[in-house]
Amino acid sequence: MENPNLPEIKFKMRFLTDILERKLDFLKQIYGITENQELFEKTMSGEDREVLLREAVREKQKIIDELIAADNTFIRVFGEFKGELNRNRDKFKDDIKIMQEKIRLVSDMDFKIRAKEMRAKQGIKVQNNVFQEKIKTLKSSKSYIINKYKKNSGKSHFDGD
């Protein structure tokens, strides 16, 4: 006799697969926004750039909120029937493989986003470091100029006298 819960398990497996597909779509959207942010950073300056970056962050946050909601739904639904699924694992072998592949795709896209974000942050750090080095150079140039002026003029009013 067939388990009466099998159709419900099948339905929930399809539902979870749909959630994983939605998550993948959300992640692809986030990746696209992240690419746009990178483009804005590289090609624009001033207020236009800041407005576009703020809008991108706002849009990304909305999608992240939807992604979190999808994650929470996935965890809740999976928790409702994972014991039953494990007991009937052999009957849902193909469905499980499909879900595992979707999870792999979601994980891969998540990794791509994190890597792109990390590279962008590294780029900002490098830019800031270059800027800080330029400031140091300016400071030393200022000191050099003041010292040179003192030597040439014999004046010491730059010492705070």
pLDDT in tens, 122-131: 766 555 555 4
How would you class 153 by CB atoms within 10 Å of its CB: exposed for 0-12, middle for 13-18, buried for 19 or more? exposed
The whole model's pTM is what? 0.72
DSSP label at residue 1: -
Q: Evaluate the CA torsion angle 111, 13, 76, 79 in order and state its sign.
A: negative
Question: Which of 29, 115, 130, 118 has the alpha carbon at shortest distance from 70?
Answer: 29
Taking residues 31-49, what's their average pLDDT? 88
Give the model's confidence band at 100: pLDDT under 50 very low, under 70 low, under 90 confident, else very high. very high
Give the pLDDT score at 28: 97
The structural domains of the chain, with segments of one domain joined by +, span 6-115
pLDDT in tens, 10-28: 999 999 999 999 999 999 9
